[in-house]
Structure 1
């Protein structure tokens, strides 16, 4: 039986700022992520993709419904080893060079032996060795996105949730980079959930979730993995 990494039942998220009417960002969502899944979340900006991923990874709690992580344990134990995020905006620590950013999750988890060697191997695998000593401010947007993904991969987590991880890459670079990410994820048994506007990226995933005004319009479409 396949391990269920995350299961959401009827979850919703409502934001209520003082003096304004409450806004329902998510409503009545049922979904689950299994070990080794490849899921693309598509939908227009503001449809709730990022909020859903933050809830699925335990970063925030929903205001209604229930979520648990049957194969991973309690919410407070998820990060940084079992679940990793790749955020849409800048997320690298400005005071650390690329090598330091990639090894940070390993050090936080107490896995210090060979951490820098593993980071250098990841950089070499993606032909990014020359970035090792650079600070985030010296990187292009596309380089920073790739480094953030390598940071997520370094602990070989059970689940990676990535928000537009190829948004600043040209189509050829994005395809080549995704090839390497999918290969590593398959080897390590990592489930991968990607929120994306890129149809080519979505086509590489086995399952497609379409968000529409805070609801999952389609959570069951299956694709044959590329």
Structure 2
């Protein structure tokens, strides 16, 4: 699997390139946003590790450019402590984020979870939404819907557990691998992104419902 690592700190790049290469990943590294996009188009990586504060083109802009043409997983690295800064990255299409300073083992665990994520099979239909576990594709009214890897995983989880209210922390554990977190906004942002793509009226959702103070659920299910 190919990984694009983008960070202007040469020491971080050296450490992560060495460690990830020992785990048999093919790693390409960039020190600024412009170089990152060049390497992205040249090598077509399977995952991007992207620092926010990089020269020439910041991580948010790089994330936007990648999302215009690809749904590959993006993990953002940020030294920014404000929750709004993290949410900005998620809203632009990032799948996960890690706050600096971080443990390389934590990052490696996130990467492994993304690459080995359990793939279910079969077809699930709920109203106008059809999910094909073999093709990893989703349709609405027979039209294909483009989802990121994390959006797909979250939707698959909700649809396979339709009718159940799923707690936000439970979702964090089963989709992102977090054992516990007081910050569940990552789930809320991804739900918002799914609603924007799947709901007729995202401001009044009828497919992915909110269980007030608890989590989310899909109301009914039809399987084939």
Tell me whether the two structures share a fold, i.e. TM-score over 0.5: no
Larger fraction in strand: 1
Larger fraction in helix: 2
TM-score, normalised relative to structure 2: 0.32
TM-score, normalised relative to structure 1: 0.32
